Structure 1
Amino acid sequence: MTATAAVWLVILVALIAANLPFINERIFIIGPRRSPKPLGWRLLELVVLWGVTLGVGFALEARIGQIQPQGWEFYAALGCLFLTLAFPGFVWRYLRRRHP
């Protein structure tokens, strides 16, 4: 896998993972169904899936070559990107108008 393909794969995984908490009612995708699922569970899932995405990125980076050391700025930027990618799911869940 080339470096460009790995980057696009991580972005695709991040896009899917960031929206998963907002499009389903199950806890961590496979748990019991909670209807409606509280916002706290959704935020916890978002943090856990952020870690999963980070792990996928590190695994792909290790497969391509040496893992580069990262400072706090990298994690802050990745967190902001993850929240930005989660915005469509948040809008779909909480901000769209529901017609009776």
Structure 2
Amino acid sequence: MDTSSAGWLVIAIAIAAANLPFFNDKVFALLPGKWQRKPLYVRLLEMAALYFVVGFIGFTLEDQIGTRFPQVKEFYMITVPLFVVLGFPGFIVRYLRKAHG
């Protein structure tokens, strides 16, 4: 896998992972919860866990390519808000869209 396709793959996985907590009421889309609708704090905890999963996938792909770069705090200061922004469409659909009918 080359650098370009690995980068696009991580971006696609990040978009899917950031929106996953908002499009279902199961924990990590696998485990049923004890509530009727999943609370926001559970969705945010899921997003935090999925951020680390996507990061692990990115680091693994980067290691396979052979150019593992050291990550400093600026990297995380950019990627955390970016992951939150990628999850914004799911937030809009879940909480701000009006139900019709």
Give the TM-score normalised by the residue count of structure 2: 0.94
Q: Secondary structure of the residue that 1:98 maps to in structure 2?
A: coil
Q: Secondary structure of the residue that 2:92 maps to in structure 1?
A: helix
Q: Secondary structure of the residue that 2:71 maps to in structure 1?
A: coil
Instruction: Give the Cα–Cα distance (whole angstroms) in 2 for the partners of residues 28 and 40 of structure 1.
Output: 13
Equivalent residue number for residue 16 of structure 2: 16
Residue identity matched to 1:13: I
Instruction: Give the Cα–Cα distance (whole angstroms) in 1 for the partners of residues 49 and 59 of structure 2.
Output: 15
Q: How many Å apart are 1:66 and its aligned residue? A: 3.3
Q: How many Å apart are 1:69 and its aligned residue? A: 0.8
% identity of equivalent residues = 48
Instruction: Give the Cα–Cα distance (whole angstroms) in 2 for the partners of residues 21 and 11 of structure 1.
Output: 17
Equivalent residue number for residue 84 of structure 1: 85
Instruction: Give the Cα–Cα distance (whole angstroms) in 1 for the partners of residues 88 and 40 of structure 2.
Output: 14
Q: How many Å apart are 1:99 and its aligned residue? A: 2.5
| Runs of 4+ deviating beyond 4 Å | none
CA offsets 1:46-68 (integer angstroms, 9 cap, x no match):
00000000000000000001311
Structure 1: where are the runs of 5+ without partners?
none
Q: How many Å apart are 1:28 and its aligned residue? A: 1.5
Equivalent residue number for residue 6 of structure 1: 6
Give the TM-score normalised by the residue count of structure 1: 0.95
Instruction: Give the Cα–Cα distance (whole angstroms) in 1 for the partners of residues 16 and 62 of structure 2.
Output: 20
Q: Which moved more, 1:75-84 or 1:4-13?
A: 75-84
Structure 2: where are the runs of 5+ without partners?
none
Aligned-pair RMSD on alpha carbons? 1.0
Q: Secondary structure of the residue that 2:8 maps to in structure 1?
A: helix
Equivalent residue number for residue 50 of structure 1: 51
